[in-house]
Structure 1
């Protein structure tokens, strides 16, 4: 009987243990305690048999290499230990050990079963683990288990109160994490995905992604932080780029550091610590940056690309915005003139006035030609302009959804994109959604993604809209016939004759009448110019230039731009706005002492650059108030009304020119009623003037509400600490966005604007006509 029990415990089914003892004849041969002991032995035998059967299936057919490794470890370590325990018990019985064999060679069944008392809970726990690896959790792909979930379960089981279960879980966790580290090593050392059992590896190939790979966070163990996973993705993609550039394999400089990278991972012990693992990955990333990526992506190339983004996307080069605005307006006017020249019956709705994609590209080409002519006049070889000419593109968005930036695969960048207000500023340049984009070439895509570029596009549309409105308003003063007596009085000797004197009196009367008509328009326009000028100075000088100077200083290691006065990037003279106000602003805002001067240029790896650049973009969007729909929406409505005002002024000017031709030269248009058209335009002009005034007050009111909003102030004050938490904890110098701006300063300057300033003691404001005499004096 003892031999039968031991054979059954070894995994051989036995009728003695597995038969039903409900038969009265059979149950009379065994006492209740004996039946209980046999049930315990039968339970252990059944667990042993099922474990061997299921682990054999897992080891042979499971798609996960880590699950197969754990299954094999269960057999070779724990079931083998159970088998050795059976042999030890049998050996003790054969040697007549007093611990098991009593007088008269009697072996108590209680003593034999007692030798396996510690294995019941362990085998039951192993069976639950095997069921977890084989159970179908209702997944659509019908995969039984994934490595990340298995590792997380084993790590959770370390916290159990049973020492034997904790020890068993620790041994299996060591096997699982060792197998997982081998997969990680293949990726971070050689840039290759694991070929065997890699279906549950967290790096996935994706042709839609710009890098060709993406992170599946569902397949990521919990001890791996998102920043560490991003580092591993960056390392593997970088090695792939280096291998594709060098040929079929890495060069000698890259191979010489493989042993050190292997050593970094080999020194890790199970259970893996999140901080230690992150430091190991960071060390590998820095080693790769010092050896391979230094030649692949030098800092000079990064600075060159960032300079293009600063000068053309962030309107650092003012002549680009001027030329683009002028060319776009000329294209729109030519489309309307072409539509007017077409017979009415041949017009196809608005198809004759809607700007096409090819015409938008032609506008950008003419803008480059204009800038090139300016460069030729100054005899200055501008490499930044040539690079921008090759990379920048202007496109018409194909759908309404394209008005807002599309999301990418990076979670931090998607968070910035989600925060950007959906105000369609890109509709203002051509009256259709138009976006300025750029081709991201290798290896620049190691730190600059298409999602980052979409944020730049949104900022560019926002800043360009304000600059465009400012430029178009100031262009009204170039219409001489609206500001002066035009045409001038006749000269002598005809001017001294009776008819000449009569002509002069008529012209002066006409000019005086038109000047009185335009007084409110000029006062409204001048007030709008003051508002746009101060707002643009705040956005460009106080925010964009301040943040860029600090970020550029962090990249180059210049101490003055780190915490003190901003340093200007090395660009052509006259391409930036004046930064004196920005210097004063940052000296007042900064409450930190300047960092010590660094003589050597810092060696930033591409991922650190990408992380810092993402923080820079996030701070830039917040400081520009682009994340506040309560501000961007009334500003957009104001810009639309300003465009309407400008259009009506040009229309009124055209009516007056036609009236002068009719009165002076006898040129009569039989199809036009100039008097009625003039009355209509003047009525519309007065309404638009009121809406412009109301729009300015709405924008300033939105600014005042934001200045009093405690949550907005807390977001601005605490953004540096929030962004700092997203960086790696490797102890290196991190980029911390500089504190610039301040809505109170902008409001204080706008208070000098007169009727759109703060209300008086009686709650009233100055009327727009009260500033006429002051303006014309």
Structure 2
């Protein structure tokens, strides 16, 4: 009977023992109790053995076809993947001591045919708790369809909560799964390659991350696929690899890897992929990735590989060492990226160009451009408007001796006639103008679509202020060039209003260009020069944009009741002031030498509107400047209300309510 007991304990049939238990006349009651307890342990082991045999060598649909699955859904719902194989390998290794103990007991029974069942039970009962935990995990994996890195998370939770007798075997299993994890991680960190057919890694292609394709689960997972995961031989990149985008699949992210660390890992691999996709290096046959990897890692490639191997060999996962290693990878990548950006892409020159063009740093260029393009953009858009505007831009650039290589990086665009943005009432296209920029590789990481959109918002506002300032100056120039008396000599009120408008616009322009843009640009330059970390440059540039958008009043606020955006109140008042200036300039150009009553009334109304807008603006700036985030408003308030002249003049004036107040 002992041989039948040993056979049952190593996973073979227990029919003979079951029949003995059913026949009460053969066994003593105490023996029946012992055999039942032994069979319970044997049953637990058999479940583990069956699971291992079903999953250790075959994954995916190949395993399912061998069973009795009734439909396609049943096949897809079964566990699969390389992590499952690693789990089974670790599980098999954990069961080796149990099998050895059974073999030793069998050897003892050969020399002692009367070996007590209690001796056998006392030996195998040591594994009872372990088998119970392992079977519980397998049940969870099956019911919750746990696969890939989710298995690591499941193991980690069990290791954290288990006692020592169970904890050590579980550590052995998680170490086996970490072999696959660190092979995939090494491939991603060192070469930017994602070998992950079954979407088991926590970094996935965007299309996979949005919804794992079920078609992959119906494909067989060959030994070649496993070899790819377990080896680090660089593969040749195809053209399609250059358009792949990657994202973190948080459902696959183990809980012991924090999201910020996962983002660093994503950034490193993404950057290496980008190095292999440099536009000028693309060709039909060559492996352009190999041209960048040596220059990126240099002599440290072996060092980094060994660091990952050491992490893989650890029986207990070390969060500190893991984060330290990832930080070293990131430091090396960002430093290499910094060299490419600064030395090859001429980052400082590109930042200067952004300031000169998008932020109107070259004021003389846009002064000439406004004069050249005004007759085009003052009229409704036609099919040739975009071409004509760009010709005017190039002509203006040549007049102030800007070389063609620089000016060719920029061009203007106008929306089509069907665009809802076209102002059919005014017929003007100035506010529709969009400046585009040809970004040098790899500065597309810095000047992405969001950053360029922000620059265009700034450009449109600054150009509007510049054009308004020029129009007000042109009134004076027209007067000085005129040889006959005109409205400006006969009506002092016109000159008075023009001077006050000019004062406000000039001080606004000085505030924007000097107090905001120039000072923030100097801070950006200092931050860029002080680091060799490209990620810090990205943060400095993002902060630069946020600051100038805030201090030029272009940041909109989200209304708490929904996603609707509310414009900045200061920006709304400034828009009304600039609109008043445009209406004033237009009216002056149409008036004759003597003003009639309607023209005098219009002039009076504009003067009243100006006073009300200025007072409202000053009150707004004064109130907002008291807030911690409104300190920059004090500078604009000082320029507009120098020596509190406006405040004293309008001290007794009734408060003005802005029409459609913000």
**TM-score in terms of structure 2 length:** 0.75
Q: Residue 589 of structure 1 corresponds to which residue in structure 2?
A: none
**5+ residue gaps, structure 2:** 61-79, 208-238, 558-565, 657-662
The counterpart of 2:59, out of the listed 55, 58, 61, is 61
**In the alignment, is the contact (CA less than 8 A) between 2:573 and 2:617 conserved in 1?**
no
**In the alignment, is the contact (CA less than 8 A) between 1:55 and 1:130 conserved in 2?**
no
Q: Residue 310 of structure 1 corresponds to which residue in structure 2?
A: 355
Matches within 5 A, 1:443-454: 443-454=442-453
The more displaced of 160-169 and 209-218 is: 209-218
Q: CA deviation at 1:202?
A: 0.2
> How far, CA to CA, are the matches of 1:402 and 1:2 in structure 2?
89
Q: CA deviation at 1:366?
A: 0.8
Q: State yes or no: 1:391 paired with 2:428.
A: no
Q: Residue 702 of structure 1 corresponds to which residue in structure 2?
A: 620
Matches within 5 A, 1:66-465: 66-75=83-92, 77-96=93-112, 106-135=114-143, 137=144, 144-194=145-195, 197=198, 200-204=201-205, 212-218=244-250, 219-222=252-255, 223-224=257-258, 225-241=261-277, 245=281, 247-248=286-287, 250-251=290-291, 253=295, 256-268=299-311, 270=314, 271-287=316-332, 294=339, 298=343, 301-333=346-378, 335=379, 353=380, 355=381, 358-375=384-401, 382=402, 386-396=404-414, 430=429, 433-465=432-464
> How far, CA to CA, are the matches of 2:164 and 2:267 in structure 1?
36
The counterpart of 1:50, out of the listed 44, 47, 50, is 47
**In the alignment, is the contact (CA less than 8 A) between 1:331 and 1:363 conserved in 2?**
yes
Where 2:290 maps in the other structure, the secondary structure is: coil
Change (3 A) 1:291 1:161: closer
> How far, CA to CA, are the matches of 1:763 and 1:118 in structure 2?
94
> How far, CA to CA, are the matches of 1:162 and 1:401 in structure 2?
68
Q: State yes or no: 1:471 paired with 2:470.
A: yes
Q: CA deviation at 1:684?
A: 4.8
* Count of equivalent residues: 582
**5+ residue gaps, structure 1:** 97-104, 138-143, 336-352, 376-381, 404-423, 489-506, 558-601, 661-674, 714-740, 767-777
Where 2:161 maps in the other structure, the secondary structure is: coil
**In the alignment, is the contact (CA less than 8 A) between 1:360 and 1:395 conserved in 2?**
yes
CA deviation map 1:726-758 (0-9, x unaligned)? xxxxxxxxxxxxxxx732232233322867547
> How far, CA to CA, are the matches of 1:183 and 1:243 in structure 2?
27
Change (3 A) 1:43 1:192: same
Change (3 A) 1:484 1:539: closer
Q: Residue 233 of structure 2 corresponds to which residue in structure 1?
A: none
CA deviation map 1:47-91 (0-9, x unaligned)? 33333333444442245323322232212x123333223223323
> How far, CA to CA, are the matches of 1:158 and 1:428 in structure 2?
71
Q: CA deviation at 1:370?
A: 0.9
> How far, CA to CA, are the matches of 1:680 and 1:277 in structure 2?
79
Q: Residue 659 of structure 2 corresponds to which residue in structure 1?
A: none
Change (3 A) 1:265 1:209: closer
Q: Residue 580 of structure 1 corresponds to which residue in structure 2?
A: none
The counterpart of 2:537, out of the listed 597, 609, 622, is 609
**In the alignment, is the contact (CA less than 8 A) between 1:10 and 1:45 conserved in 2?**
yes
**In the alignment, is the contact (CA less than 8 A) between 1:750 and 1:757 conserved in 2?**
no
Q: CA deviation at 1:161?
A: 4.4
**TM-score in terms of structure 1 length:** 0.65
Q: Residue 350 of structure 1 corresponds to which residue in structure 2?
A: none
Q: CA deviation at 1:465?
A: 3.3
Where 1:656 maps in the other structure, the secondary structure is: coil
Q: CA deviation at 1:243?
A: 11
Change (3 A) 1:233 1:452: farther
**In the alignment, is the contact (CA less than 8 A) between 1:397 and 1:433 conserved in 2?**
yes
The counterpart of 2:507, out of the listed 524, 534, 550, is 534
CA deviation map 1:455-477 (0-9, x unaligned)? 32233334333333333333333
**In the alignment, is the contact (CA less than 8 A) between 2:376 and 2:388 conserved in 1?**
no
